[in-house]
Amino acid sequence: MLVSLAAVILSRLALAAQAQSLSDNSRAACAVIQQALGSTIVQSSGAEYNATAEGTWSLFNALDQPTCIVYPQRAADVQIAMKNIYHFNAEYAVRAGGHSAMIGWNSVTDGVLISFEQMSNVSYDPATDIVSLEPGVRFGDAETVLEQYGVSIIGGRASDIGTGLLLGGGINFMSPLYGWSADRMKEMDVVLVTGELVTASATNEYADLFRALKGGANRFGIVTQYRVYPAHTGTRDDKLWFGGSVQYPGSSSLALLNATAHYIRDVTNPNAGAIMIINTANLTSPTSNTLFFFYKGDSLPWSIFGEFLCIPSTSQSLSPLSYFDITFLIAGNTRVNGNQFGASAWVGDDAAFLNGFNHLLNFTQNFGTRLVEASMIVSPIPLSQWEASLSGPNAIGNPGVSYGAINWDIVYPAGETERPQDIDDGVKLLISQTPPSPGLPLYVNECDASQDVFATYPDYPALKAAYAKYDRTRFNVEYTEGPKGL
């Protein structure tokens, strides 16, 4: 017993010493970075510091207290910050829009946070038909600037989402027509872990890095500039789409599940876009389901959406829409709740969707009274989404079949600052009970931090090879939170 107790004490002392060492490293890095860049760019306290630290979408990430926050104004500032983070072995995190449900992927305590509020420029060059984005841009802001030219970025489905979406691949309402958001990138300026700045494209010496960045999340460097092929979607006055949202009662859930499976299996028209939110717990109102449908045309074709439109609904908000209108249908900027995600992926099989829904029901029967919401969100991924790529293959890898990307979306009560262990265990059990169909990749932007997403990518070996090449000391996986498996 004494030996066992001594071992426990020594282990705890070692962990405490390690934590103290990391804290000392962060303070040293912050001091040198501040000396180089000044106290306006590097802050350790004050109103701006507090607003940034507390400004993440998920409340669980708003509790961290960075040793300092770096507000770069140009790529050179990021290089200086990263060189010193690397030199001092300091823990760090990077934030663009802050719209992540994974704890620690965009926040850090006792480490350096690089936050891109001061780099939010967006511009369009009609001569080259290229949009340039700095990493602090949110997609609603980008659309506001760009729509006057009749072009858009194929970004997030909520206007508040930032450019981190691009590094996860990026799903948009219009992705069946325009492809993965990441596959519209022409090139990226990226700061590697050593502080070196390179430009990666599909055709230069960094083509392997370029591909890895398109789905590799935060593991391959810090992008300081995106140059993107826009979509020519028209101005806010050009109502080129028809669609919107339909609300369904909880009693329609099973019919909606079957219709969703059929949609994924049968719909091949790239002009159609949809997302299905199947909700099983809501403490503030009766259970309801929300589906968004869009079609590039003047109506919703019955041959595509008829099965959904036949299901009894409680309300409909369908009308002619511009791409600008669609961008702002979902704001997505609520910042009072903790959020937790989990991911799966299924082919259009009725049994798979029913199995998933039944496990979600079981989860909410156990925990629903302690949650605001528990939903199954389905994003159809047709083959056309891969075929529309303008910049070659991405890191995810085309599985060769249409499928639905599944997002388990768990919303905790406002002000709850920690995930209760039993609910967190329940989410992980739900994930394990609803695995992806064989050969399908998970969507990293909607995963739980415990999921080995990269291992589901068909091109996983190429991703690992690129990581080994560009981060030889494995600094990123040691000193910042993000997807595991590299």
- CATH code of 407's domain: 3.40.462.20
Question: Does residue 337 surpass a pLDDT of 50?
Answer: yes
- Position 79 scores a pLDDT of 98
* Confidence band of 19 (pLDDT split at 50, 70, 90): low
Cα distance between residue 453 and residue 464, in whole Å: 13
* Confidence band of 15 (pLDDT split at 50, 70, 90): very low
* 442 and 411 fall within a common domain: yes
Question: Could you tell me what percentage of the chain is helix, strand and coil, using 3-state DSSP and rounding each to the nearest 5?
Answer: 35, 20, 40
Residue 20 lies in a domain: no
* Confidence band of 334 (pLDDT split at 50, 70, 90): confident
Q: For 276-285, 325-334, 371-380, which range has the lowest pLDDT when averaged over its residues? A: 276-285
Residue 6 lies in a domain: no
Residue 109 lies in a domain: yes
Question: Does residue 7 surpass a pLDDT of 60?
Answer: no
Q: Domain total for the chain? A: 3
* Confidence band of 14 (pLDDT split at 50, 70, 90): very low
**What is the average pLDDT across 418-426?**
96
What predicted TM-score, i.e. pTM, was given to this entire model?
0.94
Mean pLDDT of the chain: 94
Domain ranges, residue 73: 28-115
* 392 and 248 fall within a common domain: yes
Residue 15 lies in a domain: no
Residue 484 lies in a domain: no
* Confidence band of 35 (pLDDT split at 50, 70, 90): very high
Question: Does residue 223 surpass a pLDDT of 60?
Answer: yes
Residue 410 lies in a domain: yes
Q: Kindly give the residue spans of alpha helices, DSSP state H, lying in 409-459.
A: 421-433
* 209 and 224 fall within a common domain: yes
* Confidence band of 411 (pLDDT split at 50, 70, 90): very high
Largest distance between two CA atoms of the chain: 77
* Confidence band of 12 (pLDDT split at 50, 70, 90): very low
**What is the average pLDDT across 374-391?**
96
Asked if residues 165 and 158 have their Cβ atoms less than 8 Å apart, the reply is: no
Question: Does residue 116 surpass a pLDDT of 90?
Answer: yes
Question: Does residue 8 surpass a pLDDT of 70?
Answer: no
* 69 and 131 fall within a common domain: no
